[in-house]
Amino acid sequence: MNQPTPTERHPLKPFLPPNAKVLMLGSFPPQQKRWCMNFYYPNFINDMWRIMGHLFFGDKLRFVNESEKCFKKEEIISFLKEKGIALYDTATEVRRLQDNASDKFLEVVTPTDIPDLLRQIPLCVAIVTTGQKATDTLCNTFGITPPLVGCSQEFCYEGRQLRLYRMPSSSRAYPMSIEKKSDFYRKLWEEVGML
């Protein structure tokens, strides 16, 4: 008889700087065997920190330690706090239906209480989803239609005007160059006045 697929709880706490204007939400972290640091977007072949380095510093290796094949966690955290960027994921409990990090094989057991996160960051004006699963989960929470990749839409929640940005996944499985992905992210950061 097949064993049921175990449920995995989110291994990280929400990263919520009090000055956060933007909340970035992925789906769920990869398995810890794929981590190179104990923080968000921890897989060394994920492009998020290269995209951020490229956009904000003109250097896609700004947050990358090439020799040790890891990211510069403390520099990333300082940058996020300075800019006012919060991070978490749209699921707090999942089942992996296959032994990989693909969203396609991720079953959301417990969606994140996004309204609770928003109450903790009252200056937040924009939510960014970094992939299809994250977008679908968030849109189910708020009962809104998902925007197309690279697009955004306004919605109102608890009297707050928020804008949802749907960005391409930073995973290498998403077939697009860092530079092309950066073009999508550039528009978002310019619109929220951070770039």
Are the C-beta atoms of residues 118 and 156 closer than 8 Å to each other? no
SS3 96: strand
| Beta-strand runs (E) in 112-169 | 126-130, 152-157, 160-167
Per-residue pLDDT of the chain (195 residues; tens, 9 = 90+): 567 788 999 999 999 999 999 999 999 999 999 999 999 999 999 999 999 999 999 999 999 999 999 999 999 999 999 999 999 999 999 998 887 666 777 889 999 999 999 999 999 999 999 989 999 999 999 999 999 999 999 999 989 999 999 999 998 888 888 999 999 999 999 999 999
DSSP β-bridge partners for residue 192: none
Q: pTM of the full predicted structure?
A: 0.94
**Could you tell me the domains of the chain?**
7-191 (3.40.470.10)
Residue with tokens 């996944």: 169
Nearest to 188 by CA among 160, 159, 151: 151
